[in-house]
Amino acid sequence: MTEFGKTLTVTETPIPGLLVVDLPVHGDSRGWFKENWQREKMLAAGLPDFGPVQNNISFNDAVGTTRGIHAEPWDKWVSVATGRIFGAWVDLRAGASFGTVFTTEIDPSRAVLVPRGVGNSYQTLDADTAYTYLVNDHWSADAEYSFLNLADETSAIAWPIPLSEVEVSAKDLGHPRLADVTPVGPKKILVLGGGGQLGLALRDALGDAAHIEYATRDTLDLRETDLYSARRWRDYSTIINAAAYTAVDLAETVDGRREAWATNVTGVTALARIATEHGITLVHVSSDYVFDGTTAGPYTETDEVQPLGVYGQTKAAGDAVVATVPRHYILRTSWVIGEGRNFVRTMASLAERGIAPRVVGDQVGRLTFTDDLASAIVHLLSNTAPYGIYNVTSGGDARSWADIARAVYRLTGHDPDAVTDVTTSEYFADQTGPIAPRPRNSVLDLSRIRATGWTPREADEALGVYLASNL
């Protein structure tokens, strides 16, 4: 019999993410009413916003009808409209909880949120039971499913009515035992720009697990019109966008402007739409170039953007688009140093060849080493930090490019006095072709990322480690 007057409560179970929810049911002599899924109230009670897209009903004539155990690549909201069931769930996800079992009875006053990869099954306890379930993806022949035999001895589900006495399909009876089940892997992580400086650092940080994909422009181009069909996006939990058009000066040309907008804005807009539609977390790497560099102190995440050149304008536009994605992290960074050609390696090469360089001394900021930037991304994701914008650079005092060049000379055993300061105008005075305006102050405030528990390395220390291991 349905219990009336319950308070909406959420109870955890031994299976991570499998939640039992008691529902308020209001009834009288005419019957009863309940809100089977009420998003605002459910979220306030602590349930995740799992985004159902389909509502299914399975009607069962007889007592003892038994179905399952099926694990699908989507979440389910399970309840009954009439009757009662004995529900049984087995965790079929890869990991420490694989094989964990939970059972409970469900009547109209109780529902269960079943996370992706957890095997779901039930046995009817009343005739004319209407079993309902909301799902957050549509069935697809291309999706990966996993199954467990209802009579598996390891799970040892205590069915109220023995399986030998109930109606079970031959297909369900033919599913494998637990020892032979293929575990359901985690949702995929896609790293765009996998061959770039940050992409290579993310490979080191994330590894080469089967659920992590690294894409280059050759394998997944943000500018392609078929991006929406390029993947089964519901299978992804996270997209890390480490791809960008970064040719700051070329962006001031006609062709460069077109390329910068196509990659940094149009492509990012497509990613944002995909992430929003499929509940994906979008991690987007931005730049200090969204600011004009005229502020006296460090820039915070809430300062207004005022980009000077085309590159900065496209990055600011991309940030605005990504900020509309419900689950997003925008990492603003500056002066990135990693694998490949970069300022530090250039200065080290000049020092080795005995060249005395003229280096800009009126632009100040902090270096950001790609392994630190990758570490910050992993930290935000693994700690489910609040979504939003985070400044991420190395720590320590602000330096000019000339200061950093002198540090490179000193750390490589050469005379730092060989470096001569020049102004930005002087440095570019003899340059031909377009020159993009640069922000004079690129210092970013790191208070917000520090508050999440991530501590940046001091830039001077990181520079010494980089030079020792890369030269």
Residues marked active site are found at 70, 133
Relative to beta strand 54-60, strand 129-135 is: antiparallel
> Counting Cβ atoms within 10 Å, is residue 203 exposed (0-12), middle (13-18) or buried (19+)?
middle
**CA neighbor of 129 nearest in space, from 78, 71, 54:** 78
The two three-digit tokens of residue 83, written as one number: 């009757």
Asked if 401 and 422 touch (Cβ cutoff 8 Å), the reply is no
Tokens 């349930």 map to which residue? 47
The two three-digit tokens of residue 148, written as one number: 């467990």
**Crossing angle between the packed helical segments 370-382 and 197-206, to the nearest 10 degrees:** 50
The two three-digit tokens of residue 101, written as one number: 């079992």
> Counting Cβ atoms within 10 Å, is residue 381 exposed (0-12), middle (13-18) or buried (19+)?
middle
CA gap 30, 110 in Å, rounded: 21
Radius of gyration of the chain measured on its C-alpha atoms: 28
CA gap 353, 463 in Å, rounded: 20
The two three-digit tokens of residue 112, written as one number: 């269960």
Alpha carbon 307 to chain centroid, angstroms: 27
CA gap 148, 239 in Å, rounded: 31
